[in-house]
């Protein structure tokens, strides 16, 4: 793993930190590849929640590496987009919820990584934007697909067409992030949220994530069919037995 990505696993929570602060955590190829490796390691460690954040005081991730992109031809661009898609998909398909702890700038590919997470918590200093239009391109790591699904078609078009940079307050209002906290409290708040998720029944949580993800992929009819099969499949699981028995015995459940 390149030294620009750190993985820490503690108490079932995996924290991945993009650690290239001098370049505002911009994602060059080695960093992106290492991020993919870190996700695999976190999954192998059976993490029950994942946190993605950036090192330093200024940036979450200031985007794909513009110095790398500047001279790319279409074939190289295709490979770079594929790598970005692979990493964003790995976050989206991670078998436990992923939280983006957005500690500063989240532009272009940085915002796209945040979009692939289940939840987004922003520091009051965060600024987000799909700013690719300013570079004469469009989002290429999932932004054209995930942004409209999150904030709706018109807001997504406005953000992408104008490359608008949105501060934390506006991001909250537009539904780009779920909550905004004081900058100094972000790390602890995200850590507590991750701990709370890790304490949830893991099998049920994974089923919830998969079925919600599926809702973006299919017709309502096919999505409901997927939900019904997933729901039924949970019956007989340790989590289901414990959750319902605990309710009937009027006590708190003890999930494994």
Look up 221 and say whether it is catalytic: no
Whose Cβ is closer to ligand COA: residue 101's or residue 108's?
A: 108
DSSP readout, 3-39?
Answer: TTEEEEEETTEEEEEE--GGGTT-B-HHHHHHHHHHH
CA angle 223, 157, 172 (to 5 degrees): 80
Binding characters for ligand COA, 141-180, by CB under 6 A (x = yes): ----------------------------------------
Whose Cβ is closer to ligand COA: residue 96's or residue 168's?
A: 168
C-alpha atoms less than 13 angstroms from C-alpha of 31 in its C-beta half-sphere? 24
Tokens of 212: 């919600």
Count of residues engaged in binding ligand COA, rule: CB under 6 A: 16
Smallest distance from ligand COA to CB 95, Å: 29
Cα dist from 163 to 98, 101, 250, whole Å: 26, 22, 53
Whose Cβ is closer to ligand COA: residue 27's or residue 208's?
A: 27
Q: What CA–CA distance (Å, rounded) separates 220 from 204?
A: 21
- The catalytically annotated residue of 43, 93, 132, 174 is 132
Pick out residues in 49-108 that bind ligand COA (CB under 6 A).
Answer: 62-67, 105, 107-108
- The dihedral through the CA atoms of 73, 75, 78, 84 has a sign that is negative
23 binds ligand COA (CB under 6 A): yes
Pick out residues in 193-232 that bind ligand COA (CB under 6 A).
Answer: none
Whose Cβ is closer to ligand COA: residue 56's or residue 178's?
A: 56
Whose Cβ is closer to ligand COA: residue 135's or residue 234's?
A: 135
Residue 158: in which H helix or E strand, if any? Answer: helix 153-162
Smallest distance from ligand COA to CB 1, Å: 20
Q: What CA–CA distance (Å, rounded) separates 120 from 190?
A: 9
Q: Could you tell me which of 177, 239, 229, 174 has the C-alpha nearest to residue 203?
A: 239
- The catalytically annotated residue of 76, 112, 185, 217 is 112
Q: What is the CA 53 to chain-centroid distance, rounded?
A: 10
Look up 132 and say whether it is catalytic: yes
Q: What CA–CA distance (Å, rounded) separates 90 from 149?
A: 18
Smallest distance from ligand COA to CB 67, Å: 5
Residues belonging to the active site: 112, 132
Residues making contact with ligand COA (CB under 6 A): 23-24, 26, 62-67, 105, 107-109, 131-132, 135
């Amino acid at each position: 793993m390149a030294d620009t990505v750190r993985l820490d696993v503690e108490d079932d929570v995996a924290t991945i930190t993009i650690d290239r602060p001098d370049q505002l955590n911009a994602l060059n190829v080695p960093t992106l590849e290492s991020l993919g490796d870190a996700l695999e390691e976190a999954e192998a460690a059976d993490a029950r929640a994942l946190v993605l954040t950036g090192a330093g005081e200024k940036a979450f991730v200031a985007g794909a590496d513009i110095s790398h992109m500047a001279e790319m031809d279409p074939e190289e661009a295709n490979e770079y987009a594929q790598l970005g898609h692979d990493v964003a998909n790995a976050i989206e398909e991670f078998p436990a919820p992923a939280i983006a702890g957005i500690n500063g700038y989240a532009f272009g590919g940085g915002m796209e990584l945040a979009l692939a997470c289940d939840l987004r918590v922003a520091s009051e200093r965060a600024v987000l934007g799909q700013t690719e239009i300013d570079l004469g391109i469009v989002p290429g790591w999932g932004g054209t697909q995930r942004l409209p699904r999150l904030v709706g078609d018109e807001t997504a078009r406005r953000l992408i067409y104008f490359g608008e940079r949105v501060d934390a307050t506006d991001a909250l209002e537009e539904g780009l992030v779920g909550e905004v906290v004081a900058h100094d409290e972000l790390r602890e708040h995200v850590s507590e949220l991750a701990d709370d998720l890790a304490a949830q029944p893991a099998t049920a949580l994974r089923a919830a994530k998969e079925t919600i993800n599926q809702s973006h992929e299919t017709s309502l009819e096919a999505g409901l069919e997927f939900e019904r099969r997933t729901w039924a499949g949970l019956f007989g699981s340790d989590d289901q037995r414990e959750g319902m028995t605990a309710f009937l015995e009027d006590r708190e459940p003890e999930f494994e």
